[in-house]
Amino acid sequence: MPQIPEKIHELTVGQLSARSGAAVSALHFYEAKGLISSRRTTGNQRRYSRDALRRVAFVRAAQRVGIPLATIRDALAELPEERTPNHEDWARLSEAWRSELDERIKQLGRLRDHLSDCIGCGCLSLETCVLSNPDDVFGERMTGSRLLPERRNAPEPKEKRSA
């Protein structure tokens, strides 16, 4: 990755992309989602502060372990004065996200175990396939299609409309 000389305080989107390893389109997406910000030059070009490098590194590291962008954005928004996350911030947040990841890994393990029952089957039965109907929540409450649960509980219309 190319080094950015210390005397340069603002980066073009190309420089930020080259240094961070994130595609230009990803940087635009991060900006649209409020994860990084830029100012516009008189020629309407984006300029990012050097801090954006650390924010992009933070976002990419969190994404690599499967943290949703909305969660990352919330974490960044909680930092005082929207400052760039420092070493302690990352340590604290990654610790908090660890239990979330552990739970997701457990769920994936359960899905993997059930998948071996499905391999070569193809039934996708709502009664017997655990992947097709995990936990069978609707099956406990009602019979028939689980795609129309609201209609079953909705009150009857008071009057019918004529066509």
Q: Which residues bind ligand FES (CB under 6 A)?
A: 117-118, 121-125, 128-129, 131-132
- Smallest gap from Cβ 139 to ligand FES, in A, equals 15
Residue 26 parent element (H or E): helix 24-32
Output DSSP code: residue 22: -
Whichever of 122 and 155 has its CB closer to ligand FES, that residue is 122
- Smallest gap from Cβ 133 to ligand FES, in A, equals 9
Whichever of 78 and 117 has its CB closer to ligand FES, that residue is 117
Q: In 3-state terms, what secondary structure has residue 47?
A: strand
Whichever of 131 and 142 has its CB closer to ligand FES, that residue is 131
Residues near 35 by Cβ (< 8 Å), separated by ≥ 6? 55, 59, 69, 72, 73, 76
